[in-house]
Amino acid sequence: MADTATKPRTVKFIITRRDRPEAAPYTEEFEIPYRPNMNVISALMEIQRNPVKADGTKTTPVVWESNCLEEVCGACSMVINGKPRQACSALVDKLEQPIRLEPMSTFPVVRDLVINRERMFQALKKVKAWIPIDGTYDLGPGPRMAESKRQWAYELSKCMTCGVCLEACPNVNDRNSFIGPAPISQVRLFNAHPTGEMNAHERLEALMDDGGIEGCGNSQNCVRSCPKGIPLTTSIAAINRDTTKHMFKKWLTS
Amino acid sequence: MSGNSYLPRKLHSLLGVIPLGLFFIEHALTNYSAFEGGLEGFNRSVNFLHQLPLVFFLELILIWLPILFHGVYGLYIAYQSNLNTGRFQYGRNWAFALQRISGVITFIFVIWHVWETRIQVALGNTTYEELGAHMHEIFTNPAYIVIYVIGVIAASFHFANGLWAFLVSWGITIGPRAQRVSSNICMGIFVIVAVLFLLSLVAFSGDEFASAAAAAGSASIG
Ligand code: SF4
Ligand code: FES
């Protein structure tokens, strides 16, 4: 009992930082007071309040991004102890120390842990990941979706474009134009929708374009990494089937 | 990259199975005849093949052109991949990395192996009848044995794991259970084909092919 009062518990962090997008990365170590139930975001908030390194010298606060703090927005994705995941759901008690934080450098790094996930939103535009219902008149309620289908489609709809699956994928890199796993799964989601299905061919053709689904090399890291448990490899294989069928159909009917 | 990569990638996947995969199995069986039927069995198999009608065109269309495309495009695919097995040590990620590594090894090995055998026949330095003896001579050099062992294991893995990926890329195996079952089957195929080749290596370096080599040697001296 006596020695519990001797030294306050602390948490060690090693953070990969970068001042500007084109600047070289460097690491800094921090040692911050432990509080029960803290997560990586609350630790970063502590560093923000008191930007002092482990060696006692002052530094600039570490910059990161977060919004929902409940693992639904995807903004706080970073590489924590080697694995890409959300900082807000990364509990310090469950992490090995020192805790290493790095930006997901598959994406352009803006500063410190902040990355630019623009390519993911571009990808969703490219594959038309929406249901076109706008018109000049009321289109009516549209066909109903079978409940059995709705159940698995709902799982796919949980994607928060967090980028973890792209970070984990060995084929998403600057030598490869592969669009990444998430948008492929979104094509499956919107093609499963009874109204979305009416434009299914447009989404399939977007994935048969350069950098589309053929870029998948089946490492299956994505499905192991997705924080939402989305069956990405099942989606990819299902869309492989759909694009293959579409290819033959186009050959034989045009 | 300009242009559409969907079709070339699809073609790459298809050629790996048809015709190259089929040829690879045929090759394993022909070689195995050396182990099972000895020199005579091997010669019978070789003769059967090179006496096929239009054999030159069959070779060109079913073997040479597909290998060239599959190999060169495959190098490009390997170049486009990162290997991140350090961070993600999952079985399938290892298979992904090994597929690319074994592909590069196999391509280099195949070029060398074709030079050593088929091209030597074409150049008239050996004949189909002397092929068994020729193989034995190659295997008197331990370095070549090592190269062949590595080559056939890499090629067998690349074929079997490529078959698994083909089933996914063409949308045949979709769910996790189907992909797990096909993975087990393909790893079984890997072991079987690799063993067939390794047994033929044993046969080629064995006594029967040694005496054939000696006979061929004295024949060419005499
Ligand atoms: S599929 Fe999963 S890992 Fe990929 S972006 Fe969506 S939520 Fe993130
Ligand atoms: S802050 Fe939204 S996922 Fe972490």
Q: What is the mean pLDDT of residues A2-20?
A: 84
Q: What is the mean pLDDT of residues A10-33?
A: 97
Residue A5, pLDDT score: 61
Residue B170 has what DSSP assignment? T
CATH number, domain of B20, equals 1.20.1300.10
Distances (CA, A) of B117 to A91, A144, B111, B194, B211: 61, 64, 10, 20, 19
Q: Which residues of A touch B74 (CB under 8 A)?
A: none
Helical pair A232-253 and B176-205, crossing angle rounded to 10 deg? 80
Q: What is the mean pLDDT of residues A12-18?
A: 98
Q: What is the mean pLDDT of residues B47-76?
A: 90
- Distant-in-sequence, close-in-space partners of B123: CB < 8 Å, separation ≥ 6: none
Distances (CA, A) of A12 to A30, A151, B43, B85: 6, 42, 70, 27
In angstroms, the CA B155 to CA B140 distance is 22
* A140 Cβ under 8 Å from any chain B Cβ: no
CA atoms within 13 A on the CB side of A192: 22
Q: What is the mean pLDDT of residues A187-212?
A: 96
Q: Where residue A4 falls among pLDDT bands split at 50, 70, 90? A: low
Q: Where residue A133 falls among pLDDT bands split at 50, 70, 90? A: confident
**Cα dihedral across residues A44, A49, A54, A59: positive or negative:** positive
* For residue A235, pLDDT beyond 90: yes
Helical pair B131-138 and B176-205, crossing angle rounded to 10 deg? 90
Residue A133 has what DSSP assignment? -
Terminal CA-CA length for chain A = 82
**Domain residues for B136?**
3-221
Full DSSP string of A166-227? HHH-TT-STT-----HHHHHHHHHHHHSTTGGGGHHHHHHHHTSTTSGGG-----HHHHH-T
Which structure tokens are listed for A153? 């489609």
Question: Would you say the pTM of this structure is higher than 0.90?
Answer: yes
Neighbours of A116 (CB within 10 A): 12
Residue A64, pLDDT score: 97
The amino acid at residue B1 is M
* CB nearest to B96's CB, from A218, A225, A241: A218
In angstroms, the CA B18 to CA B170 distance is 13
Taking any CB pair shorter than 8 Å as contact, residues of chain B touching chain A are 1-6, 9-10, 77, 79-84, 87-88, 90, 92-93, 95-97, 99, 164-165, 168-176, 179
Residue B222, pLDDT score: 40
Which structure tokens are listed for A64? 């990161």
Q: What's the mean pLDDT when you consider all of chain B?
A: 90
Name all domains of chain A by residue range, CATH numbers in brackets.
2-115 (3.10.20.30), 118-253 (1.10.1060.10)
Q: What is the 3-state secondary structure (H, E, C) of B110-129?
A: HHHHHHHCHHHHHCCCCCCC
Question: What is the Å distance from ligand 2's center to A113 Cα?
Answer: 13
The count of domains in chain B is 1
Which structure tokens are listed for A26? 């460097």
Residue A230 Cβ contacting ligand 1 at under 6 Å: yes
Distance from CA of A237 to the nearest CA of B (A): 5
**Cα dihedral across residues B124, B126, B130, B131: positive or negative:** negative
Distances (CA, A) of A118 to A25, A57, A75, A107, A198: 21, 35, 12, 9, 27
Distance from CA of B85 to the nearest CA of A (A): 9
Q: Where residue A1 falls among pLDDT bands split at 50, 70, 90? A: low
Question: What is the Å distance from ligand 1's center to B222 Cα?
Answer: 73
Residue B217, pLDDT score: 59
> Of the bound ligands, which one is closest to the alpha carbon of residue A64?
2
Query: Whose alpha carbon is nearest atom 5 of ligand 1?
Result: A161
Residue B128, pLDDT score: 81
